[in-house]
């Protein structure tokens, strides 16, 4: 979790989901939304991660918006794993190379327009890196670690990791019969980017069954 030094008298917060989707996103939106609304705060949903701030796509969330979504997959706010406010693609040069622009000022203009006083950012390593830039400019930020890779520094278990391990373990278990039938050893590749936690945990779980 990242935060600024103080956040007194906050009355309106923004919430967004960034990066790839994974199980549990709507559950986090529901928990944050219901708690905030129950405390009298106003909640602004930012669509498609940082892209919602860049393009000014925000909407107020009510109790009805965050109810009945606990078991729904994906995220009701949408997500984006390519938008970087400090390096936003705005076009191409004649040679085909991408033109990038720092649009942090545009993001803060959206934040001011919607009177957002703090952000709750749900995402993985890249999203947390982006969220830290807002924190450095004085906006209170709470980071909710979400990634199947389980590779966020200082976090023991991230949202999405345990579901990914369960899916990988099931796949490994099911391939056993094929390997036995054909008298072969099989190599199963799982996701995890630069971290091997899914492979490690799925393999160790299978070894105990």
Please indicate, yes or no, whether the overall pTM of this predicted structure exceeds 0.75.
Answer: yes
Q: Which residue has the tokens 């807002």?
A: 134
Q: Supply the pLDDT for residue 6.
A: 46
Which residues are marked as active site?
149
Rounded to whole angstroms, the Cα distance separating 129 from 82 reads 13
Tell me the three state secondary structure of residue 119.
strand
Q: Which residue has the tokens 């949408």?
A: 78
The order of strands in the sheet holding 118-123 is 58-61, 42-46, 12-17, 118-123, 141-145
Overall fold of domain 12-145:
Rossmann fold (3.40.50)
Rounded to whole angstroms, the Cα distance separating 202 from 63 reads 38
* pLDDT in 10s for each residue of the chain, 209 residues: 444 444 458 999 999 999 887 878 999 999 999 999 999 999 999 999 999 999 999 999 999 999 999 888 889 999 988 889 999 988 999 999 999 999 999 999 999 999 999 999 998 888 999 999 999 999 999 999 888 888 888 888 888 888 889 989 998 888 888 888 999 888 888 888 788 898 999 888 776 55
Domain boundaries, the chain: 12-145, 161-207
Q: Supply the pLDDT for residue 207.
A: 61
State residue 134 phi and psi, 5-degree precision. Answer: -70, -40
Q: Supply the pLDDT for residue 71.
A: 84
Q: Supply the pLDDT for residue 8.
A: 58
């Amino acid at each position: 979790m990242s935060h600024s030094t103080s956040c007194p008298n906050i009355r309106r917060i923004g919430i967004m989901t960034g990066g790839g989707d994974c199980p549990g996103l709507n559950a986090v939106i529901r928990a944050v939304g219901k708690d905030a609304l129950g405390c009298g705060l106003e909640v602004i949903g930012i669509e498609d991660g940082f892209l919602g701030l860049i393009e000014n796509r925000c909407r107020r969330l009510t109790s009805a918006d965050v109810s009945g979504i606990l078991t729904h997959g994906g995220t009701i706010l949408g997500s984006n794993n390519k938008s970087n406010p400090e390096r936003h693609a705005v076009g191409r040069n004649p040679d085909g190379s991408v033109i990038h622009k720092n649009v942090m000022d545009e993001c803060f203009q959206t934040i001011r327009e919607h009177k957002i006083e703090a952000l709750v950012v749900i995402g993985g390593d890249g999203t947390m890196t982006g969220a830290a830039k807002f924190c450095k400019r004085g906006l209170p930020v709470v980071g909710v670690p979400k990634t199947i890779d389980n590779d966020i520094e200082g976090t023991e278990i991230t949202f999405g990791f345990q579901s990914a391990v369960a899916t990988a373990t099931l796949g490994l278990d099911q391939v056993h019969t094929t390997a036995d039938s054909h008298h072969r050893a099989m190599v199963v590749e799982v996701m995890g980017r630069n971290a091997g936690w899914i492979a490690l945990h799925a393999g160790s779980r299978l070894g105990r069954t």
